[in-house]
A and B are shown apart, each in its own frame.
Chain A
Amino acid sequence: MSNSIFQHKQTAHCESGVISNLLGHQGLQISEPMAFGIGAGIFFGHLPFVKVNGVPGTTYRIWPGAIFQRVCKRLGVKMESEKFSTPEKGMLALDKVVAAGIPVGLQSSVYYLPYFPPSYRFHFNAHNLVVYGKQEDQYLVSDPVMDTVTTIDPESLSQARFAKGFPAPKGKMYYPVHVPAKVSLEKPIQEGIAQACHFMLKVPLPMFGVKGIRFLAKRVANYATNPGDRKATLYLGNIIRMQEEIGTGGAGFRFLYAAFLQEASVVLKNNQLSKLAGELTQTGDLWRNFAFAAGRVCKSRSTSDVSYKELSEMLMACAASEEAFFRKLAQVKF
């Protein structure tokens, strides 16, 4: 039974992709956008004090693991989730579950996954993938951001699962033990939307939600002097990467959420949601324009104050557009 047929579907984002693929295997068909929306994945945060390699962190989605927990809770799925003290125990436990024919979700570090192009392999510890079998000492892998299924050797997989740093995966593995035969999506969708609006509009800290976008905009305006020079373009480059790199679907998850709203409007028979999906698409395009302009500034290594002021204004426009959008979304009556 170690080769149960696993339907691999390529997705934009690893976490919502793994949920969609794992639940689909158990007969519960949930699309990636639907998982992302029910899990209220859309978010914004800028953390100048949390630096990775000396560059401040920016995120366009909720923290790793949150989408997963919320989707399971809202759909009534029960997951078995385990962490391990040593790689030996972690690999043994994996072998046992895989031998029983159960596809397993794993948290891992991108740095140790040999099937990714070297240029993408940074120390990012919150990547999710599925192992669905073992053949001749190679694990069969369904990595949601990859085109097709692939394989990995035990040593690399062990290193990826037990990478150090933050957040340390500690070999985390998870798989559904109870999936309801029938689910109603109405209430989970409504709860997901309400939560997303809350996180984007109501978090009382300046770094998060719509406020966070304005917070970043104000800092970008001064990038030419602080941090200045080379660092300014590195900071900017990181904002682009978090917005456009693997797993965002482009435009920092905004298109992914718009796709969710479109699907939700069909489920709930609510035209307003599909109209709002169209509005969010326009906001996503604003983000893309920003990334394009920011990329130009990076390339020219410009230290001109004017270009940073212009980028700041573009971010302010993104903030205004998102604020208007989420206020309307919060008002939708179901």
Chain B
Amino acid sequence: MKKEEVPQDSDNLHEGTFKQIMYAVDNSGNYVQVQSAGWEPENIALDQAWEEVNEKVKAARARVEAGEISPVAYYMEKNLMDLALLANYVGKFQWQVKKHMKPGVFKKLSPKMLQRYADAFKVSVTELLQIK
């Protein structure tokens, strides 16, 4: 990659300010550091990853509203977590967290357990009980 070929495809994901370093060859063939504002293929891939996250969050929200799953499942998606990671954060087994995703079980959770979920998701218990 030549110095002038270093991509400068900025998009809103970078918020216009974040520039990374790339190594590229100058006219005399020496490697130099050049700042890049982003590159199209990377932007596409990143966009796509977020689209996937947003769709999962949307689907989870709809299911919470329909009373099929508890807010735990919604906030897990919203925080880009999977079952293993969430279980790790609240100090429970995965099968226990899975049970807490059932609305009936969730309703009976102790205040202490609710607080643990709220901490893991960085929200208040009120927000945990009533998704916005």
Contacts and interface: CB of A to CB of B under 8 A. Distances in A.
Given A122-B80, A245-B46, A250-B36, A255 B23 contact: yes
Contact of A258 (B23, B33, B48, B88): B23
B20 A12 contact: yes
Contacts of B13: 117, 119-120
B42 A259 contact: no
Contacts of A233: 48
A234 B52 contact: yes
A39 interface: no
B95 interface: no
B18 interface: yes
A129 interface: no
Contacts, number: 119
Interface stretch (A177-185, A199-207, A210-218, A283-291): A283-291
B22 interface: yes
A249 B45 contact: no
A262 B26 CA distance: 13
Given A33-B31, A255-B31, A250 B85 contact: no
A298 B44 contact: yes
Contacts of A12: 20-23, 33
A288 B49 contact: no
A99 B35 CA distance: 33
Interface residues of B, number: 39
Interface stretch (A60-68, A83-91, A236-244, A321-329): A236-244
Interface string B21-53: 111110001110101100111101110111010
B93 interface: no
Kindly name the residue among B1, B14, B24, B46 whose own CB sees the greatest number of chain A CB atoms within 10 A: B1
Given A250-B23, A250-B39, A295 B1 contact: no
B interface: dominant SS:
mixed
Nearest to B81: A123
Nearest to B85: A165
Given A234-B48, A291-B41, A281 B80 contact: no
A251 B6 CA distance: 11
Contact of B1 (A117, A123, A245, A255): A255
Nearest to B16: A117
Interface of A: 10-12, 33, 53, 111, 116-117, 119-120, 122-123, 145, 147, 164-165, 233-234, 236-238, 240-241, 244-247, 249-251, 255-256, 258-259, 262, 277-278, 281, 284-285, 288, 291-292, 294-296, 298-299
Interface of B: 1, 6-7, 13-15, 17-25, 29-31, 33, 35-36, 39-42, 44-46, 48-50, 52, 80-82, 84-85, 88-89
14 contacts: A145-B20, A165-B88, A234-B52, A238-B49, A240-B42, A240-B44, A240-B45, A241-B49, A249-B22, A250-B39, A255-B31, A262-B30, A288-B1, A292-B40
